Amino acid sequence: MAIDLMRMVADQIRVGEALPFGIRDDQGKLLLAKGRLVANDAQLQTLLERGLYADHDEADAAEEAAGAEGAPRRMTLFDLWKQTTARLDILLNSVPREGFVARCDTFATQLMALIDRDPDIGIYHSVRQDPNRLSLYGLNHALHCAMVGQLAARRAGWPDDRVRTLVKAALTMNLTIVEVQGRFATMGRLNDTQRDQIRAHPQAAHDQLQAAGVDDTEWLQAVLQHHEQPDGGGYPSGSAGMSEMAQVLRMADVFMAKISPRTERPAMPILDAARQLFAEAQGNPLAAAIIKEYGIYPPGNFVLLASGEMAVVIRRGATAHTPVAAAVTDKNGIPIVRTPRRNTAEPAWAIKSSVPESRMLLRVPPERLYGLVE
């Protein structure tokens, strides 16, 4: 039987209703057969922790049987990113339960596959963050830091096993302050207790992971040290010694925090964040790898083209200055229904400048920019 192990189907499952297709884990093992019921929310949560995938043929047949009218649309990678946020929440809340180490390894493997499937969409997801989902900042920040670390480490030639360890460290480095991060992103202030939590979180996360059975020294060390600084001015111990993995985590953490919007301030422009990262890292090649992965105009950036059109970058190009963009206005600035692609390497569509965010541009669904929906 053909199995599409990248199609997660959580949004199509309803408690108490018959499954329209079989669901499997990431190894292809059947968890529930077509026609079976998910009895309750607890069972659904357990399934989500293991990862949900549909039998390709059965899922397609279910979509066809539903008919064009009212049928659920086919899942896109943007849907998968949203589901991954929810699944990370479940994973981090399961740290005290037996089997966390295996669950985290499975989750990290699935996330790496999602990033590898289309890194440009992953970068878009990190650059163009939904201002209505700031309460989920802590979860999305962990996912974005994991992605930044993966892309940079791959560029630097790290082996897959070590990249996976870095991804797991990024996912878990803030596990004790996820809610605090969400409140700070939405409210813009912290009380004394929350500040103390933040100062203590590297040690607290390290200790919880160790208690959960994590015995990977590099993973634990990276989590413990990711807020230390080379000059000894960091925390929790003020140590000047940092592992290489902790350095990558710190750079990814700071870079993503700068380019992420908060209630009290907009996101910092990518170019400004890249310049600051390069200066602070003092030539660290992994900082250079992060900057090269994002480029000058990463997916998600708004730009003005030589044609007069405003566009959204959707693909990195052959050079940092020549990405592929999707036009969202005509040359007079009037919104258009179609979003034609523009190769900015061609003089007629060269990028003239970045464009500040606007409500009109933010309303364009990313699926339309990428040609995933009409």
Between CA 51 and CA 57 the distance in angstroms is 19
pLDDT for res 184:
92
**Considering only 29-38, 109-118, 341-350, which range has the smallest mean pLDDT?**
29-38
**Is residue 5 in some structural domain?**
no
Q: What is the pLDDT of residue 30?
A: 78
The per-residue pLDDT for 50 is 65
Q: Which of 294, 316, 336 is the last residue of a domain?
A: 294
186 within some domain: yes
Predicted confidence (pLDDT) per residue in 51-78, tens digit: 666 655 555 455 455 444 454 556 789 9
Q: Rounded to an integer, what distance in angstroms lies between the CA atom of residue 95 and that of residue 172?
A: 10
Q: Grade residue 2 by pLDDT with cuts at 50, 70 and 90.
A: very low
Residues 177 and 210 occupy one common structural domain: yes
Whether 58 is covered by a domain: the verdict is: yes
Q: Is residue 4 part of a domain?
A: no
Are 198 and 220 part of one and the same domain?
A: yes
Same domain, 271 and 142: yes
- Do residues 146 and 230 share a domain? yes
Residues 128 and 207 in one domain: yes
Confidence of residue 5 (pLDDT cuts 50, 70, 90): very low
What mean pLDDT comes out for the span 162-186?
96
* Over residues 281-285, mean pLDDT: 86
Q: Distance between terminal CA atoms of the chain?
A: 31
Instruction: Say if 1 falls within a structural domain.
Output: no
Mean pLDDT of the chain: 86
CATH code, domain carrying 91: 1.10.3210.10
Confidence of residue 4 (pLDDT cuts 50, 70, 90): very low
Is 32 domain-assigned? yes
Same domain for 285 and 307:
no
Show the tokens assigned to 309: 């059109």
Half-sphere exposure of 21 (CA within 13 A, CB side): 27
The residue out of 71, 87, 116 marking a domain boundary is 71
Domain shared by 229 and 325, yes or no: no
Q: Quote the number of domains for the chain.
A: 3
Asked, for residue 52, whether it belongs to a domain, the answer is: yes
Are 251 and 320 part of one and the same domain? no
Q: Which amino acid is at 345?
A: A
Residue 271 — pLDDT band, cuts 50, 70, 90? very high
Do residues 265 and 311 both lie within one domain? no
pLDDT at 195 over 60: yes
Check whether 294 has a pLDDT greater than 70. yes
17: confidence class by pLDDT, cuts 50, 70, 90:
low
pLDDT at 374 exceeding the cut of 60: no
Same domain, 283 and 351: no
Residue 10 has pLDDT above 70, yes or no: no
pLDDT 10s digits, 90-141: 999 999 999 999 999 999 999 999 999 999 999 999 999 888 788 899 999 9
Q: Domain boundary residue among 250, 272, 294?
A: 294
Tokens found for residue 368: 């339309």
Instruction: Evaluate whether residue 3 is within a structural domain.
Output: no
| Token pair belonging to 157 | 């030639």
Q: Are 230 and 248 in contact (CB under 8 A)?
A: no
**178 and 278: one domain?**
yes
Q: How far is CA 295 from the centre of its chain?
A: 17
pLDDT above 80: residue 297: yes
Range of the domain at 40: 10-71
- Do residues 215 and 262 share a domain? yes
The Cα 43–Cα 48 span in angstroms is 9
- pLDDT for res 330: 93
Most trustworthy range by pLDDT among 28-42, 84-98, 206-220, 358-372: 206-220
